[in-house]
Structure formats: structure tokens, C-alpha cells
Amino acid sequence: MKKIGLLRESQHSNIAVLIPQNIKQLKNDAEFFIETNAGLASGYTDEDYIDAGASIINSKQELINSSDLIMSYSSVIGNENINAAKTFIGAYDVLSDYCTVIPFQQKGIDVYSLNLLPRTTIAQSMDTLSSVASILGYKAVLIASTISPFTVPMITGAGGTLRPAKILILGAGVAGLQAIATAKRLGAIVKAFDVRKASKTDVESLGAEFIDIEGAIDSSIAGGYAVEQDKAYLEKVDQILFDETVNADIIIATAKIPGKKAPLLISEAAVKAMKPDSVIVDLAADTGGNCALTQPGKTIVTENRITIVGDTRMLDKIAKSASFLLANNFASFLKHYLANNDDDEILNATKVITDGKVTNPRLIAEIDNL
């Protein structure tokens, strides 16, 4: 029976990728070890894990020594001594930050990253990127509406009528669609833009207006993800989005390209032309930001009173809900891993390192382009 360990995340994350209910579901398939307080920041105590059938380990080194397979969201090994073959499973952002894999390049170590999952029907239940995007899209709208001095829905009272807020969503992937749904439920007037034509139907089905800009490079070859666009199209986007930006009360920017710098959709000039007290929440801050003035990890207020939120740890503010979703993704992947060998589409796609050497073709291609 496999021995599986759950690492406590570093101070940069409150996520737990296995929660007690997962242990209960899988305890007949594997033996589970939990680093002490690994789930505490997400609302799960050591006692909760013990009741579910796991054992508590006091240190990271001891947990690694005791386990065949070690799971975490983003925590990597440091000075720990690896004296036997080990497998690590995480949601490592290896395409954007190659340095993530460097500590794992030791003999006997295999690494899998759920961020590299293929977009297939079987892999849907393991899709950590969609889980994270969905919950961040929701949270971004709540943060923006709290910061904004304007009400979001139309409110009519003895003193008159307050118009509904105008919310612009940039990017209509999972995060953008969840942001649209949340903004509409709050009563806002919502517009959305995405380079992918296929997203128009999804946007309109949620009651938002789609900003249609002709000339985008077809993204169908990218498995549904956005792709980099040429300069002429981006200039056209910049012109049209300038007008949309200056009319918005709130902007939720969600546009990302896997393994690439986020596309710039809100220029400095557009920010300067926006109405005072408008709010931008940039969910692409961790990959450079969709707004030219975004400062990753910070919330700033410009001279013309535009608040720009570049929070890169927003997920930690909803750690319990995020951990619930992500833990189910990880548990689904774990069940698949335990039931299959390496000759499998999902395992082949997500394997980053084999015996200490980088073997993932996508990562090798990114490294070669550095």
C-alpha cells in the first residue's frame, strides 16, 4: 500500500490539497501522513485528519522520509535530505517559473504538476486551474464592489435612483465567466471581451454584452486557451478597449496565456482617462498584469483616484473554499495515478521530472526558448 504524505504549505499559501473527507474516501487505497497543521489555515485541524484515518507527522523531513508520494499545492523541497525514490505531486507553475523545478532535480525524484493537465473529458475532475479561476473570478467582483464607493445594483428610494454599476470583464475564460455571473447577480450592467470568438455564446448566455473585435488569431489549436496575438490586432484592441475602459466603474481583468506574460489590455493612458473612484482588479498580476500600472502583490491608488488591485494571494483569503475544490481535484488525480502506470495520457502530460531530470516536452521547449 502506497504511503502518501501531505506537506504543510509555505507561508505564501494557506491551501491544503487533501482534506479529511478525501482521506476517508481513499484510506483503503493508501496510508496517509499529514504534516502537523497542514490543514489549519484552511480550517482543518490535526484532529480532523486523525479522525479521518491519517497519521500526523511533526516535521517536513520526517514526512518526506515516511512517504512514497508527497503532495502539496506549491511547496517545494528545501534542505531536506532525500535518501530514497520519491514522487511529488503539486500544482507547480513550471511554465511561468522554471526555477520551481530546480530543487527537485535530484536523483530518484519524480514530479507531476496538475497545471499541465490535458484538456480532456477524463481530466476535467482534476482541473485545478479551472477551480482556482472560478473562485477567483467570484472573489474579484466582491473585492471590487467593496472598494468601489458606488452601489452595484440599481437602487430606488425616497432620495431618488442610483444607477447600476458598469462592470467590464476582460477575458472570458473560467474566471471571467464566473466574474460575469457574480456581477450580474449583484445587478450590474456587464460587458466582456475575449479574443476567442467561441466565448461570445458563453458571455451572452450569462446576460452580458460581448465586445466583438474582428481579426483575432484562431485559438482552437491551443485547446481552448487564449493565444498570443499579432501587433496589428492588439493595436485595434487597445483603441476599442480604451473607450470601454473609461466608461467602466469596475474592471475585472482575467486574461492570461499559459506560460506567457499576460497581455496588456489597459494602457496607462486609459487609466488616466478613467472616472475618479473607479476600480480595477487584475487577476493576471502574477504574470505581469493586464493593466500597465498593476503592481503585483500591491493595491495602489493613482493620482486620479483609480484603485488598482494586484493581489497575488487572493486565493488565501478564501482558503477553505479553495481547498475544498482543489482537494477534490488532487484526490481525483491521486486515484487515477494509483490505478494507472506511466503509459497514460494524463500522467505523461503532467510528469515534469523523471529520476531528477526534466522530461516534460512543454517545459523543455520553454527552457530552450529562454
Catalytic residues: 119, 124, 127, 130, 225
Contacts of 303 (CB under 8 A, 6+ apart): none
Give me the residue label for grid cell 494507472: 340
Strands 250-253 and 209-210: unpaired
Print burial letters for 98-114: b (CB count within 10 Å at least 16), e (below 16): eebbebbeeeebbbbbb
- What does the alpha-carbon distance between residue 312 and residue 310 come to, in Å, rounded to a whole number? 6
Grid coordinates representing 112 are 507531476
What distance in Å separates the CA atoms of residue 27 and residue 21, rounded to the nearest whole number?
A: 10
How many angstroms separate the CA atoms of 127 and 122, rounded? 10
Asked if residues 264 and 290 have their Cβ atoms less than 8 Å apart, the reply is yes
What end-to-end distance do the CA atoms of the chain give, in Å? 41
- The residues pairing with 210 across neighbouring beta strands, listed in sequence order, are 192
207: left (phi over 0), alpha (psi -120 to 50) or beta: left
β pairing state of 155-157 and 160-162: antiparallel
AA identity, residue 109: I
| Beta-carbon-side half-sphere exposure of residue 169 (alpha carbons within 13 Å) | 33
- Answer for the pair 284, 251: CB distance below 8 angstroms, yes or no: no
CA nearest 336: which of 112, 95, 67, 74?
Answer: 112
Whole-angstrom Cα distance, residue 170 to residue 144?
A: 14
